[in-house]
Amino acid sequence: MSKNGDIRLPVRKMYKLFINGAFVRSESGRSDPLRDGEEFAANIARASRKDARDAVVAARAGQQVWWKMPPGGRGLVLYRLAEMMEARRAELTERVQQGTDCDEAAASAEVTAAIDRAIWYAGWCDKYAALLSTRNPVGGPHFNFSTPEPTGVVAVLAPDAPVLLGLVSVVLPPVVAGNAVVVMASQTDPRTAVVFAEAVATSDLPAGVINLLTGSRAEVGPVLAKHMDVNAITYDETERELAAEIENEAAENVKRTRPRSVRTIEEWFSPDAQSLSEIEAFSEIKTIWHPAGV
């Protein structure tokens, strides 16, 4: 109630898409209502095919800027993202609690694990290339060596749960590898993902490196799978009908696919859910030949 006695209505948050470093409404104007139990909670923007195409264009431009940054600089930027997540800890905890119907302690534990995972991956930016590179033994007057380069634009269909830790775990490995991503957030409750995007917006990540869409995976996932400027896509293989459609569409341009098996909540928290192999999965190992002694 205001000072003059009038009843003040709460300011409801509008959950938008995050494309090219800006929060935008769907070009179609569509949204989906989200409820907490029987009570209306928010309207969530429903991404269209056009929104998906716009996000891919932004990702392609952002990837060129991101990959040209020094590896150590990319690590500092991702550490800054972890700092911004820490600054939004209270709101992230509240959204995780709402989105998963867990208690505050469990929600806080997930936020802590997600921030720690972001820091863990930030530390790999200037290290993974050395571990994935090698000089190969060959016969003849030549030598060759292999080194990783980014795949390009990666589409990510994030898991529904855990809403934050699962999102961070599938988004950051391709970003560490120098890629840009277009992410479909949790379909059951994407509010946490949008707050994560707000942390991205206030970090030093170049526009377009992380783009976040909300809405229907069944509608947008196949669009990303068949987009000729998307180089890889990762998704839940247990959503069999959608997974089959994605694989068929991805075959059109021999797009790299990275199906995931569903992990339990405990497995997402496990150290095994973060690894160098997750970064390698979104790297192209390029081999260069050179005459020996020249």
Phi-psi group of 29: left, alpha or beta (phi > 0 → left; psi -120 to 50 → alpha; rest → beta): left
Q: Are 41 and 69 in contact (CB under 8 A)?
A: no
pLDDT at 280: 96
The C-alpha atoms of residue 258 and residue 281 are separated, in whole angstroms, by 8
Q: Report which secondary-structure segment, H or E, holds 201.
A: helix 191-201
Residue 92 has, within 13 A of its CA and on its CB side, a CA count of 29
Give me the torsion for CA of 268, 273, 278, 279, rounded to 10°.
100
Question: Mean pLDDT in runs of 10 for the chain (294 residues)?
Answer: 71 90 95 84 93 98 97 97 98 93 94 98 96 79 83 97 96 98 95 97 97 96 97 94 96 93 89 94 86 66
Q: How far apart are the first and last CA of the chain?
A: 80
Instruction: Select from 198, 189, 176 the least CA-distant residue to 117.
Output: 176
Q: Are 54 and 227 in contact (CB under 8 A)?
A: no
pLDDT at 2: 55
pLDDT at 1: 54
The C-alpha atoms of residue 152 and residue 149 are separated, in whole angstroms, by 9
pLDDT at 238: 86
pTM, full prediction:
0.92
Q: Are 62 and 207 in contact (CB under 8 A)?
A: yes
DSSP output for 182-200: EEEPPSS-THHHHHHHHHH
The C-alpha atoms of residue 96 and residue 92 are separated, in whole angstroms, by 6
Instruction: Give the single-character DSSP code of 210.
Output: E
Q: Report which secondary-structure segment, H or E, holds 238.
A: none
Domain extents in the chain: 49-291
Question: Do the strands 142-150 and 153-157 form a parallel or antiparallel pair, or are they unpaired?
Answer: unpaired
pLDDT at 294: 57
With tokens 């277009």, the residue in question is 182
For 27-37, b where at least 16 C-beta lie within 10 A, e where not — what string?
beebbeebeee
Backbone angles phi, psi at 11, to 5 degrees: -90, 105
Count, residues in the chain: 294
The C-alpha atoms of residue 23 and residue 256 are separated, in whole angstroms, by 29
CATH superfamily of 49-291: Aldehyde Dehydrogenase; Chain A, domain 1 (3.40.605.10)
pLDDT at 160: 93
Burial label for 289, CB within 10 Å (0-12, 13-18, 19+), is: exposed
The C-alpha atoms of residue 271 and residue 207 are separated, in whole angstroms, by 30
pLDDT at 35: 84
